[in-house]
Structure 1
């Protein structure tokens, strides 16, 4: 995993240079950028040189090389409430008054093969009350449509951050981290 993160970091450092931009293929499909791909979703990365064989195989777009990225699944998990993200859904479910102090909770979660959301790690919680309310809202949230690999449901992971009340700035660093 460290090797993948190192390679991904190196690739992203070069990405803004349009003249040197390689052809990115993610699960076989071309992509303009790869910065939005969570590193944990990457199964493997293969870098192909800008040689005659690569250009013959992938066409003139491969004149700066090709980066083949294989994800752990073919399609992402989708949260089933209209077009809401998990974070916006949870923030709407949690009761947190404007008179309460600004607080933030960040959680790592996984979506099981049957669409259940399971919190795997509390990354940050600046207020224990908000943490409890967010965990309860996640436990009561509707199921997801799980990620798919070769047409079969597979587990996937994500990170959600909830900051309430919305629009109210957080106090300066350091944050109180309650786990």
Structure 2
């Protein structure tokens, strides 16, 4: 359901019917777009019809219905390493230009204490790169954790690393889809 909603929202935004999209309310705040919301960050979705009650409560913007989205947090976790997290990890991994192109994708958790903990490996084309990425992940600086109702909470993310950067994997053209 959640993935279908995100796909539907992306398709709707790309069509001439975009003017007929519903009103999105994320954690109590009206939003024009929901495409940037990670589906794993969504706790609950509620769809309200375009009826008199919705319009009375949310105004004329609710004439096409209302989608209420509750995230697992009020504010997301913030990596305080001074650069995007994936860039930081990639810089920590020693992977020479003469080594074969390889890719690793994995889930990670940012704990309520701000530590990064590796989760499921989603893809790994080279065990050496996987070990190096896991080592860099374990040594990563702390995050400012996500918060819910003013308290730190766990959050999750997906880390994707392909090295050397710009070099395609053997047998596949270089098209970056993430």
Q: TM-score normalised to the size of structure 1? A: 0.89
- Following TM superposition, the consecutive aligned residue runs of length 4 or more in structure 1 with deviations greater than 2 angstroms are 3-17
CA distance in 1, matches of 2:120, 2:60: 45
CA distance in 1 between counterparts of 2:50 and 2:171 reads 47
Equivalent-residue separation in structure 1 for 2:10 and 2:47 (angstroms): 13
Structure 1, unaligned stretches of length 5 or more?
174-179
- Tell me the CA shift for residue 6 of structure 1: 4.0
Tell me how large the CA RMSD over aligned residues is: 1.4
Partner residue of 2:64?
64
SS at match of 2:128: helix
User: Cα distance, 1:11 vs. partner?
Assistant: 4.3
Checking the alignment, whether the CA contact within 8 Å between 2:9 and 2:35 is kept in structure 1 is: no
Instruction: Classify the secondary structure of the residue corresponding to 1:64.
Output: coil
Tell me the CA shift for residue 53 of structure 1. Answer: 1.4
Report the equivalent of 1:14.
Answer: 12
1:32 Cα deviation after fit: 1.8
Check conservation: 2:23, 2:66, Cα contact below 8 A: yes
Task: Provide the C-alpha distance between the structure 2 equivalents of 1:76 and 1:102, rounded to a whole number of angstroms.
Answer: 32
Alignment of 1:107-122 (within 5 A): 107-122=106-121
Within 2, Cα distance between the matches of 1:40 and 1:62?
26
For residues 93 and 109 of structure 2, the distance between their equivalents in structure 1, rounded to whole angstroms, comes to 20
The aligned residue for residue 159 of structure 2 is 160
Residue number in structure 2 paired with 1:79? 79
Return the alpha-carbon distance in structure 1 between the equivalents of residues 121 and 4 of structure 2. Answer: 25
Paired position in structure 1 for 2:28:
28
Secondary structure of residue in 2 paired with 1:123: strand
Q: How far apart in 2 are the matches of 1:7 and 1:165? A: 35
Q: CA deviation at 1:12?
A: 4.2
CA distance in 1, matches of 2:5, 2:106: 26
